[in-house]
Amino acid sequence: MKNLTSLTPSEEKILKLLKTSQEALSGEKLAQALGLSRVAIWKKIKKLKEKKYPLLTTKKGYILQNKDLFLKEELDEVITSSSLVDEIVYFLETSSTMDIAKDLADRGKRALIIAEKQLQGRGRLGRSWESAEGGLWFTLILMEALPLKRVFLLTYLSALATALAIKDTFNLLATVKWPNDVLIEGKKVAGILLEIKAEVDQLLYALIGIGINVNNAVLNKEFLHPATSISEELQKKVSRLPLLKNFLIHFERLLQEPEQILPLWKERSETLGKWVKIVTQKDTIVGKAVDIDEEGALMVITESGEVKRVFSGDCFHLRNVSL
Ligand code: BTN
pLDDT of 147 higher than 90: no
CATH 1.10.10.10 is the classification of domain 4-64: yes
Q: Which of 255, 270, 268, 6 is nearest to 150 (CA)?
A: 255
Evaluate: CB of 193 within 6 angstroms of ligand 1: yes
pLDDT at 220: 67
Q: What is the pLDDT of residues 200-250, one digit of tens each?
A: 888 999 999 999 999 998 876 666 678 999 999 999 999 999 999 999 999
- The fold of 72-267 is BirA Bifunctional Protein; domain 2 (3.30.930)
Evaluate: CB of 139 within 6 angstroms of ligand 1: yes
Residue 138, SS3 per DSSP: strand
Q: CB 79: neighbour CB atoms within 10 A?
A: 16
300 CA to middle of ligand 1, Å? 26
Domain with CATH 3.30.930.10 in the chain: 72-267
- What are the backbone dihedrals phi and psi of residue 242, each rounded to the nearest 5 degrees, phi first? -60, -30
Per-residue pLDDT, averaged over 164-168, amounts to 98
Q: Give the CA dihedral 75, 79, 85, 89, nearest 10 degrees.
A: 30
Domain with CATH 2.30.30.100 in the chain: 275-317
- The fold of 275-317 is SH3 type barrels. (2.30.30)
Which residue owns the Cα nearest ligand 1 atom 7? 211
pLDDT of 145 higher than 80: no
Residue 114, SS3 per DSSP: strand
Q: What is the pLDDT of residues 28-51, one digit of tens each?
A: 999 999 999 999 999 999 999 999
pLDDT of 322 higher than 50: no
Evaluate: CB of 137 within 6 angstroms of ligand 1: yes
